């Protein structure tokens, strides 16, 4: 197991601080941009923006996924010009990184002063009432890797960040979820296009089988994705407030699929029963669809995040 010590986090933070102008040596807000959602940094004041490629930051690993640019950007967000650090592209376990490597940037952001984190992701919808393109404010998560031995906090606890046994039952606080809905409605997102629900994390990179999708829906998940949870757990451990926003980029195939035996029996006249199950053979999740939907909805999501940052700056939450 890769061991990352308190000194490693501090070294990365000190490296960044030494290269940043004074206005970004301490930041208030962190934003993690999921698949295809990095366009948010194009909306900030370009004249004060400072960028670092992940590959140039000590302790950071490389980002290898299409749609994840792989850079850390510092800039002023919204009307209140909140000093913000953006991860444009994140790390996933399926890239071969450990949970500690994936979450290192969150601890570095904690060292740089963030009090609040917005985590965004692309995900697959598990419920028939969800439409592709819907936004979902996360109100709870189901960590499949975390429940079976791959929690982001496994290893020696670093007391400096937080306690050995942090509670995450209220990781996505009610007050911040309310603020997010307010932001969404104020920028004109229809109540029909945004909901609240449970994000399940799997490691990927293969998408779900049909029965895995049915299983996840049965055990309480509304959507499924391959990220977010490790970052949220590490952020909450460090006392950072979290808002999670998912964009449903595709439907996860849940149908049972056609019954081959029954079909052959019917063709041979051995039965006259017809399989009524919808044939979903041609429907499958793919990363191109994920990026396509992200591109379609990224503008709404960006406007919502900017408004949320302003509402947050204007409140004492």
Ligand X SMILES: Nc1nc2[nH]cnc2c(=O)[nH]1
Take residue 300 and report the two structure tokens written for it. Answer: 């709404």
- Judged by CB under 6 A, does residue 202 bind ligand X? yes
Residue 168 CB, nearest approach to ligand X (Å): 20
Our CA angle for 202, 12, 235, nearest 5°, is: 40
Cβ-proximal residues to 164 (8 Å cutoff; 6+ apart), any chain:
157
- Judged by CB under 6 A, does residue 137 bind ligand X? no
Q: Which of 285, 295, 296, 313 binds ligand X (CB under 6 A)?
A: 285
Q: Which of 76, 90, 130, 303 binds ligand LQZ7MJT6 (CB under 6 A)?
A: 90
**Burial class, 8, CB count within 10 angstroms (exposed 0-12 / middle 13-18 / buried 19+):** middle
Candidate ranges 19-27, 78-86, 184-192, 221-229; the one touching ligand LQZ7MJT6 (CB under 6 A) = 221-229
- Cβ-based nearer residue to ligand X, 187 or 285: 285
Phi, psi angle pair for 262, to nearest 5°: -60, -40
Candidate ranges 10-18, 65-73, 142-150, 245-253; the one touching ligand X (CB under 6 A) = 245-253
* Residue 208's binding partner out of ligand LQZ7MJT6, ligand X, none, with CB under 5 to 8 Å set by partner kind: ligand X
- Residues in the interface with ligand LQZ7MJT6 (CB under 6 A) total 13
- Cβ-based nearer residue to ligand LQZ7MJT6, 262 or 296: 296
- Write down the residue that tokens 């009307």 correspond to: 79
The catalytic site residues sit at 35, 68, 92, 94-95, 122, 226-227, 250, 287
- Judged by CB under 6 A, does residue 301 bind ligand LQZ7MJT6? no
Residue 177 CB, nearest approach to ligand LQZ7MJT6 (Å): 19
Take residue 123 and report the two structure tokens written for it. Answer: 């995900």
Residue 299 CB, nearest approach to ligand X (Å): 19
Q: Which residue lies nearest ligand X, judged by its C-beta?
A: 124
Q: Give the interface with ligand LQZ7MJT6 as residue ranges (CB under 6 A).
A: 34-35, 65, 90, 92, 121-122, 204, 225-227, 287, 290
């Amino acid at each position: 197991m890769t061991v990352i010590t308190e000194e490693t986090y501090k070294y990365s933070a000190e490296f960044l601080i030494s290269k940043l102008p004074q206005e970004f040596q301490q930041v208030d807000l962190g934003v993690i941009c999921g698949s295809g959602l990095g366009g948010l940094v194009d909306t900030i004041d370009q004249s004060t923006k400072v960028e670092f490629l992940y590959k140039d930051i000590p302790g950071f690993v490389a980002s290898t996924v299409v749609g994840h640019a792989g850079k850390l950007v510092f800039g002023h967000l919204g009307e209140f010009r909140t000093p913000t650090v953006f991860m444009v592209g994140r790390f996933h376990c399926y890239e071969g990184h450990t949970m500690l490597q994936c979450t290192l940037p969150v601890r570095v952001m904690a060292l740089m002063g963030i009090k609040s984190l917005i985590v965004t992701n692309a995900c697959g919808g598990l419920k028939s009432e969800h439409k592709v393109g819907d936004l979902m404010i996360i109100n709870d998560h189901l960590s499949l890797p975390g429940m079976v031995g791959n929690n982001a906090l496994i290893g020696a606890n670093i007391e400096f960040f937080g306690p050995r046994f942090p509670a995450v039952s209220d990781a996505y606080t009610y007050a911040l979820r309310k603020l997010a809905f307010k932001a969404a409605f104020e920028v004109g997102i229809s109540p029909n296009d945004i909901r609240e629900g449970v994000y399940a994390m799997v490691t990927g990179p293969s998408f779900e089988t049909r029965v895995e999708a049915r299983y996840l829906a049965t055990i309480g998940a509304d959507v499924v994705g391959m990220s977010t949870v490790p970052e949220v757990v590490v952020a909450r451990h460090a006392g950072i407030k979290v808002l999670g926003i998912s964009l449903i980029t595709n439907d996860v195939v849940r149908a049972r699929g056609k019954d081959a035996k029954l079909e052959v029996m019917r063709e041979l006249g051995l039965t006259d029963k017809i399989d009524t199950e919808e044939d979903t053979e041609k429907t499958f999740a793919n990363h191109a669809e994920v990026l396509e939907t992200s591109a379609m909805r990224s503008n709404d999501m960006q406007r919502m995040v900017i408004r949320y940052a302003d509402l947050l700056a204007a409140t004492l939450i």
